[in-house]
Structure 1
Amino acid sequence: WVAADNDRILSILSSMWNGLSMGHKVTEDAYAQISNSEHSKLVEAIKAYDEEKAKQLMYAHIIRSMENILTHFVQDHEVLSEID
């Protein structure tokens, strides 16, 4: 995210992705390590022409990412509800 050299994008992405679906807070660096690991495994499966493995890894990555977004959305919504 920092490589984009855009503070607004950094802030938005940090805010959106700061949390695993389990509800634990993680740092940007920790999330980047998780994401990079998933991407590396996906690249290795593609290089090995392992279509089934690549499909499974991509599916798991998408599901985890969606859960992260939903978790963050719910947490933000609950905070906003308390303010109202």
Structure 2
Amino acid sequence: MSAPEPAATPKSGGRAAAWERSVAAARGYLAREGTLSGVPRVHVEHVVHEGQEHAVKLGVWLSNARSRRASLPADRVAVLDELGVI
């Protein structure tokens, strides 16, 4: 009988980590470009989170955040407001 394989650790770190990466990508883009209003849906922003580089689909995330804003928790809506996401 062989030894059991170790459980795989999730690459993304979960939804909270994905949110943090996306917010970091939005902040980076905002700092560089001055606005988030013209981000193309296909734009990918590269960020380093917890020592690893990640490609964040920033355009898709912004589109989803705008459309789901009404159902997001208040703390996340506050972050979107801080970033100027309409």
Length-normalised TM-score, structure 1: 0.32
More helix by share: 1
- RCO (CA 8 Å, sep 6+): is it higher in 1 or 2? 1
